[in-house]
Amino acid sequence: MAAGGDQSHLKKYEIDMVHGALLPKILLFAIPLLLSSMLQLFFNAADIVVVGRFSANGSHCVAAVGSTGSIINLIVALFIGLSVGVNVLAARYFASGEKRNLSQTVHTSVCLSIVGGIAVGIFGFVMAGRLLTAMGSPPEVLGLATLYMQIYFLGAPVLFLYNLGSAILRAVGDTRRPMFYLIISGVINVILNLIFVIVLHMEVAGVATATVISEAVSAFLILRCLMRTDSAYKLTLSKIAIDRHKLALILQIGVPAGVQSMIFSFSNVLIQSSVNSFGAVAMAGNAAAANLEGFVYMAMNSIYQASVSFTGQNYGAGDIKRVNRCLFVNLATVTVIGLSMGNLFYLFGRQLLGLYTDDPGAIDYGLKRMAVICVMYCLCGIMDTICGSIRGLGHSVTPMIVSLIGACGFRIVWIYTYFRVHHDLTVLYLSYPISWALTGFAHFICFLVIRRKIVAALAQAGRQTAGAQSAGGAS
């Protein structure tokens, strides 16, 4: 492990994460990622807005599109989690100057995304209707929701290519070019939404098709970027293959990260099933509020991504003190973002929800969700940021286990005990902030323990090196 390697080779889109003041560089990294996430959610929100405003069955279309989110996330979570493994590994090799290992990581990642995307696409297409039925989707939206999911999963390979390609760029500090690519694909998405829904009257099928096409454009742009660079992470089509050692390392970090995402998604599926029991209007309000919350979440998630990348590079450079500083700067930043954005969204919640639906009942249901989740959303950001630091250190199983107990376990118990007795949506939504607080505290304890072990291991390695040098000098 190199000790703070030379970063003079950096290109204009890359960031030196191992030297200099942290906050400006974290913001330089996070702001384009934040804007990218905002744009992505804005363009995704266009799906719901367009079908809600311009379809003959507006409320049912909104409910259909919105109700698929938790189950789609559950299916793709494992493979999206692999992008964390790619990010950590690429950041480590980039900071330590291991060009061959970095190149092998890139080509293994691209091959993995293609194979995994095809497998997930087939599974999601075949199982869409059965999974939605198991969730208790009402008959009036089941057909529309199934159609949306089936078309969406046809685009799984390009979705995975974009995510793993973006992870490689994030590892070297490049968050600006992915933002430009999202702007291009997002504009295409909105234009196609309007054409497919308003002109061609395709409704749910139209917004799903527009999503897949726009994702294909963003994947193409990412791949072109990787192929044109002259850095060590250059992609060469003839070299795309699986390196077993790199695959094992990616899976070692990425699979637990993906399983953790699946755990959260599974608990969200249970919550979505509980929301479904309140009817289509409640589903529509819940879907609109969840979409708005996504803007706050993605803003905080940019700090989580910064936590993974900055920790990974500084760990690769052997600077544990800087790893500690990274965590606390990121925690302060994500708290400010979560508190300000979450409460601002709730303050203007009625007006924002009105962009999605004009149904007063759906708006009231949406506000009920936002009153609990938006106001306390900073707890989720704190939890994720600490988790990102742990993953940046190369430990992924521990946060997975903590999340299994603190998030999924707690929410399942809550749904089948307290919520069953007090059958109210506010009671249901309270399971979110309570689980965030419990899980975040447990993550922080784990970070302290892991950091102490790493410091001890580095000290032991230093003593052994000094002893060997002393023995060599005596001889």
pLDDT digits (tens, 9 = 90+) for 31-90: 887 887 777 767 666 777 777 666 656 666 777 676 677 677 777 777 777 888 888 888
Q: Kindly report, residue by residue over 290-299, the tens digit of the pLDDT.
A: 888 888 988 8
Cβ atoms of residues 110 and 240 within 8 Å: yes
What values do phi and psi take at 235, rounded to 5? Answer: -95, 125
Q: What are phi and psi of 173, to 5 degrees?
A: 90, 5
**pLDDT tens by residue, 414-462:** 988 988 888 888 898 999 999 999 999 999 999 999 988 888 877 776 6
Rounded Cα gap, residues 185 and 168, in angstroms: 19
Q: Does 471 score more than 60 pLDDT?
A: no
pLDDT tens profile 428-440:
899 999 999 999 9
Q: Which residue has the tokens 């995402």?
A: 261
Helix H or strand E encompassing 58? helix 58-67
* C-alpha distance from residue 192 to each of 161, 197, 210, 223, 424 (Å): 22, 8, 5, 23, 39
CB atoms within 10 A of CB 367: 18
